[in-house]
Amino acid sequence: MKVIRNSIIAALLLAGSLLRAQEQPYKLTLAQARDYALQHNKSLLNARDQAVASKETIKESIAQGLPQINGGLDYMTYFNYEMNFGIGSSEPPNIDYTLLDAGDEQVMNAIGQMFSSGPIILDDQLSGNVEISQLIFSGQYIFGIKAAKIARILADQNVVASEFDIKENVSNSYFIILTTEKSLGIVSENLANLTEIQQHTMNLYKAGVAEESDVDQLQISISQLKNTQKALERMNQLNYNILKFQLGVAPDANLILADNLEQVMGIIDTQSALSNDFDIKNNINYQLMESQVQLDKQLLDIQNMSYAPSINGYYRYTEKFITTAFDMNPKNLAGFNMAIPIFSSGMRRAQVAKAKINLNMAKRNQDLVKDQLELQKNQLLFNYQNALENFNSQKDNVTIAGRVLKSIQNKYQQGLVSSLDLTQANTNYLNAENNYISSVLTLLQAQTSLDKLYNIL
């Protein structure tokens, strides 16, 4: 019983430690969140597996042109079929059987039977064979390997492009959560101030100094702020769920953002963003199109080589375990075959024409991506400059709106202004704060988009 009790206690302790391990929160900075997503995002893991599969495709393509060895076992029965040659001579040839081995003797006996009037009975046969084949020449094979290698490069580049997308998405989700939580903090602080002012106004109303409409006006503002607070909380929970999905963690995981908004704003580098030279060849999207053009060139070469012959060589060895007396098949056999395309009713011509069209389309798409990237660069720089100017303006507006609100609050407590003036000042301050936080988010996203374009994200 003591052993059982100790086992139960140990199991409970182990279960408790596992439960605590599962409840351990993910506390991540922005950089850690990006790195974590690169290791655990499910879409990215699939892209990496696809790249690994493309490497195996190359091995598969190369192996098709290397020696192939296949074996087989053949059994055949003739159901005691009798062959009657009926050559016409009743006397078999005079043969010295002392000079023959056992196998040759069977053959001579069969030949002897051919000169007799009697039939030859075909016995069952059992043989095993091994065949070695080797591709000697195939133009499609040569260019197919080149195409497979380019496809592997494309798969690796797709992984890099996916990594940039994941880092951008994770960064933007991180920014949105921080700005939402900042807004929540401002709303909560403002709600506490208004509640305190309402209580003060209620005391004044009971004393006959303030009017009931002042209390009602403040109550309306408080109710609106509470609704805003609840909406922001729901939005923030949704944003956390999106970030968890991007990170590849469980939906019920406890996720904590280690960076605050001020720390994250350290990534803003105005001078670098506006002065960086844009080398389009470093952009992953342009690199993808370059590889696609090269791949389509190889596919065109493959179709062109469909007009060329292909040559294969082979060697076969057959071991006969059971054989009939009348067996003229040799044990060793070697040879080669050449396949020469002659006429395909226009199929090959159509395949070549289609491959040329695909290549021309790929080249135009490459030029199109180049133009789009140049346009995107100008647009992103324009957006960044606007975001920076708006950020500086909204930052000043928050300072001014805060001073005005504090002044109005002091005057209201002294009875110099009405509750309507206080409510309006409070609304202006909240709008200024919301505009400022929105400008911060826009600037952070603009910085991230530029970093991604420059391949430095």
Q: Quick one: 117 and 159 in the same domain?
A: no
Predicted pLDDT at 110:
55
Range of the domain at 237: 23-73+137-313+344-453
Among 183-187, 211-215, 270-274, 328-332, name the one with the lowest average pLDDT: 270-274
Whether the pLDDT of residue 27 is over 70: the answer is yes
Whether the pLDDT of residue 441 is over 90: the answer is yes
Q: Quick one: 102 and 166 in the same domain?
A: no
Whether the pLDDT of residue 271 is over 90: the answer is no
Whether the pLDDT of residue 18 is over 60: the answer is no
Give me the number of domains the chain comprises.
2
Q: Quick one: 97 and 172 in the same domain?
A: no
Among 120-129, 354-363, 369-378, name the one with the lowest average pLDDT: 120-129
The identity of residue 325, as a single letter, is A
Predicted pLDDT at 279:
87
Give 269's pLDDT tier (boundaries 50, 70, 90).
confident
Q: Quick one: 302 and 362 in the same domain?
A: yes
Distance in angstroms (rounded) separating the CA atoms of residues 266 and 443? 12
Kindly give, in sequence order, each residue whose CB lies less than 8 Å from that of residue 201, ignoring residues fewer than 6 positions away: 210, 214, 215, 218, 419
In a domain, 391, yes or no: yes
In a domain, 183, yes or no: yes
Q: Quick one: 63 and 186 in the same domain?
A: yes
Q: Quick one: 223 and 94 in the same domain?
A: no
Predicted pLDDT at 213:
85
Total-model pTM: 0.79
In a domain, 283, yes or no: yes
Q: Quick one: 58 and 87 in the same domain?
A: no
68-83: per-residue pLDDT in tens? 999 999 998 888 777 7
Mean pLDDT on 307-319: 91
CATH number of the CATH domain containing 367:
1.20.1600.10
Q: Quick one: 420 and 295 in the same domain?
A: yes
Among 24-38, 74-88, 238-252, 270-284, name the one with the lowest average pLDDT: 74-88
Among 116-125, 314-323, 399-408, name the one with the lowest average pLDDT: 116-125
Mean pLDDT on 245-259: 93
Give the SS3 label for residue 365: helix
In a domain, 14, yes or no: no
Phi-psi region of 330 (alpha: psi -120 to 50; beta: other; left: phi over 0): beta
Mean pLDDT on 391-420: 88
Q: Pick 10 or 180 by higher pLDDT.
A: 180
Q: Quick one: 97 and 242 in the same domain?
A: no
Average pLDDT of the chain, as a whole number? 85
In a 10 Å sphere around its CB, with 0-12 CB exposed, 13-18 middle and 19+ buried, how is residue 442 labelled? buried
| Backbone phi, psi, residue 258, to 5° | -80, -25
In a domain, 267, yes or no: yes
Q: Pick 289 or 116 by higher pLDDT.
A: 289
Q: Quick one: 446 and 351 in the same domain?
A: yes
Cα dihedral angle (447, 448, 452, 456), rounded to 10 degrees? 80
Q: Which sign, positive or negative, has the C-alpha torsion 41, 44, 50, 54?
A: negative
In a domain, 114, yes or no: yes
Predicted pLDDT at 20:
46
Cβ neighbours of 48 (radius 10 Å):
17
Q: Pick 81 or 342 by higher pLDDT.
A: 342
Beta partners for residue 393, in sequence order: none
Whether the pLDDT of residue 95 is over 60: the answer is no
Whether the pLDDT of residue 49 is over 80: the answer is yes
Q: Quick one: 104 and 33 in the same domain?
A: no
Q: What does each C-alpha distance from 13 to 9, 25, 134 come to in angstroms?
A: 6, 20, 64
Cβ neighbours of 315 (radius 10 Å):
16
In a domain, 200, yes or no: yes
Q: Quick one: 88 and 203 in the same domain?
A: no
Largest CA distance in the chain: 149
Percent of the chain exceeding pLDDT 70 equals: 87
Q: Which sign, positive or negative, has the C-alpha torsion 186, 192, 196, 198?
A: positive
Give 301's pLDDT tier (boundaries 50, 70, 90).
very high
